[in-house]
Structure 1
Amino acid sequence: MMASLQVSRFYAVLALCGAAAAWAAPVHAQEARIAAVNSERILRESQPAKAAQSKLEQEFSKRDKELQDLANRVKSLAEKLDKDGPVLSESERARRQRELADQDREFQRKQREFREDLNQRRNEELGLVLERANRAIRQIAEQRKYDLIVQEAVYVSPRIDITDEVMKSLNAGGR
């Protein structure tokens, strides 16, 4: 009984596959228009991406300089402690070690906050660039009647790569 049920299920599935193949056959008669876009290249080379990078550099340059100054202070304190350590009293050496540890913790905290803030702002700015790129891609797809545009692929033939066209649209202020 169980074997006959499995055989009948097999024939039912086979019949469904045959019906689906017959139904899908006319769809294959039309060739799909496909293109590809290199999103990484757009985020690296397009004018909006470069403008976003400049904006971030300007926005974070002051904090970056402050971090570098603090790092130099910590390094200077460490060098001074190493140099003066042998001649310092035990209490003075302990005080300077605490001061160095406090400064180092402060530097680590500020550096972590800086990285988190920078990453958040970078993600925001690049998200805006990607939104504009996606609008440009949709516009090109509608104009050139593409059925599918792929943004991530292992290999893309130059024949279907429209990255240059998207970048041209973005750089011209296209949305």
Structure 2
Amino acid sequence: MLLTSASAWAAEMKIGFVDTDRILRESAPAQKAGKKLEKEFDLRRQELQRLSAQGKNLQAQMDRPGVSESDRKAKERDLIRLNQDFQRMQRELNEDLNTRRNEELAGIQERVNGAIQQIANNEKYDLILQEAAWRNPRIDITDKVLRLLSEK
């Protein structure tokens, strides 16, 4: 009897699933955040490219035949300093980019959760999952969430 009532209860439950990875790839807020981050860090990436080109130029100057030993040593010191600056700037860029990306993702996740909650309330869902080892495509409501996010 307990088994029968449990299966009747489960049959009446309305369950949905949202593919969070897809939301973070395809949603309007995620794409907007990606463009914003790209623009925000573009100058620093260009600076890194400039340093890289400068390092290649120094290396090419060192490899030329006829370069005096003192000139070669000075260029080696410059190249070492340039390489250290490049690595430091690259590390800082990556750290700052990761921090900003996490901030943007937190804001997006908050909006996604709000959209999911709105759909759950409007359509009377009992349970909406964001992660599952397997799910039936019939319960996937990701498209609804994407549409709601694009409307906001």
TM-score (norm 2): 0.91
In structure 2, the residue corresponding to 1:35 is in which secondary structure?
A: strand
Q: Which runs of 5+ in 1 are unaligned?
A: 1-20
Deviation above 4 Å: which 4+ runs of structure 1?
Answer: none
Give the structure, 1 or 2, with the largest relative contact order (CA under 8 Å, sep 6 or more). Answer: 2
The equivalent residue for 1:77 is 58
Q: Map of 1:88-107 to 2, 5 A cutoff?
A: 88-107=67-86
Q: Which has the larger radius of gyration?
A: 1
Partners of 2:108 and 2:4 in 1: how far apart? 40
Q: Map of 1:23-38 to 2, 5 A cutoff?
A: 26-30=5-9, 31=11, 32-38=13-19
Q: Does 1:42 align with 2:42?
A: no
TM-score (norm 1): 0.80
The equivalent residue for 2:42 is 61
- Which of 89, 93, 98 aligns to 1:119? It is 98
In structure 2, the residue corresponding to 1:29 is in which secondary structure?
A: helix
The equivalent residue for 1:167 is 146
Residue 168 of structure 1 deviates from its aligned partner by 0.4
Residue 25 of structure 1 deviates from its aligned partner by 5.5
Question: Among the aligned pairs, what percent are the same residue?
Answer: 48
RMSD: 1.6
Matched residue type, 2:21: E
In structure 1, the residue corresponding to 2:138 is in which secondary structure?
A: coil
